[in-house]
Structure 1
Amino acid sequence: MRIGELGRRAGVSTRTLRHYEDMGLLPARRRANGYREYDDHDLRVVAEIRSLVDLGFALEETRPFVECLRAGHPTGVSCLASQEIQRRKIAEVDAWLGRLHAVRDELAAQLGTPPVPRCAITTRETT
């Protein structure tokens, strides 16, 4: 498929796809006429990138996930490098949650409202 079709199917602009190509996340094969050529595996890679970005990953952080998919693994998180990035992201989210709870507790205290009990997920240890 050409870049326009990939963009439509993936729900991203052709400019975004070119940016992924420039970053080395989405290598394009070229037809004899110079047009970029993509396949369903490329669609899966773009979907993985978009999913990770939607979860708060920076584009560069998606690289291990993309490389894992390119290596033939069923998911981008099947590889140790991507699992480590994911663990770091979980730690970041836990830190954000801690800060948000502290802010919420301070605001509630100013109003004389009791603090809300913590959600079990924020105290869970990640492996």
Structure 2
Amino acid sequence: MTLVSRSSAGSLLRVGDLSAHTGVNPRLLRHYENEGILPAQRSSTGQRLFDSSAIERVIYIRELLDAGLPIRVIRELISCIHEPGRLEPCAVPVLIEHVNDYDARIAALATTRGSLQGLIDASAP
């Protein structure tokens, strides 16, 4: 946490401003900060202040969450983001691991569905 003087705080965004730019609830933005994936500075009055680059970072975080990645994984990957919409190769092994996990879960669900459908079919007159 870095304290910022009033004179340098003009180029920084308050949590409400960041929320307005990203459409993400301020409560979630504070959660992202607490989880260590969205750095913030503090004003002399303790107000959260975000660099303007936080707008893109929040968008990346939302994309990763929408892709099904938990925050603990995003914390690992956040350093692999260097330009909009693109992860660096350092993210690939983690993403492959998650794709494999999803493939296994999909296969298990398909098996369960098949078993249920078999029971339904066997019950038909």
**Bigger relative contact order, structure 1 or 2, given CA contacts below 8 A and separation 6+?**
2
Corresponding position of 2:97: 88
Q: Between the two proteins, what is the percent identity of the paired residues?
A: 30
> C-alpha distance in 1, partners of 2:44/2:113?
59
Task: Tell which structure's C-alpha radius of gyration is larger.
Answer: 2
Following TM superposition, by how much is the alpha carbon of 1:87 offset from its aligned partner in structure 2, in angstroms? 0.8
Map Cα deviations across residues 77-117 of structure 1 (whole Å, 9 max, x no partner): 2131x21221111011101110111011112212338xxxx
Q: Matched residue of 1:112: which SS?
A: helix
Q: TM-score, normalised by structure 1?
A: 0.72
Corresponding position of 1:77: 87
Cα pair distance change 1:34/1:79, threshold 3 Å: farther
* Aligned residues of 1:28 and 1:36 also touching (Cα < 8 A): yes
1:42-61 maps to which residues of 2 (within 5 A)?
42-61=54-73
Corresponding position of 1:5: 17
Cα pair distance change 1:85/1:76, threshold 3 Å: farther
> C-alpha distance in 1, partners of 2:32/2:48?
13
Letter in 2 for 1:100: L
| 1:68 and 2:80 are equivalent in the alignment | yes
Runs of 4+ that moved beyond 6 A: none
* Aligned residues of 2:42 and 2:48 also touching (Cα < 8 A): yes
More strand by share: 2
Following TM superposition, by how much is the alpha carbon of 1:75 offset from its aligned partner in structure 2, in angstroms? 4.5
* Aligned residues of 1:64 and 1:76 also touching (Cα < 8 A): no
Q: Matched residue of 1:66: which SS?
A: helix
Following TM superposition, by how much is the alpha carbon of 1:14 offset from its aligned partner in structure 2, in angstroms? 1.5
List runs of 5+ in structure 1 lacking aligned partners: 114-127
List runs of 5+ in structure 2 lacking aligned partners: 1-12
Q: TM-score, normalised by structure 2?
A: 0.73
Which is worse superposed, 30-39 or 52-61? 30-39
* Aligned residues of 1:65 and 1:76 also touching (Cα < 8 A): no
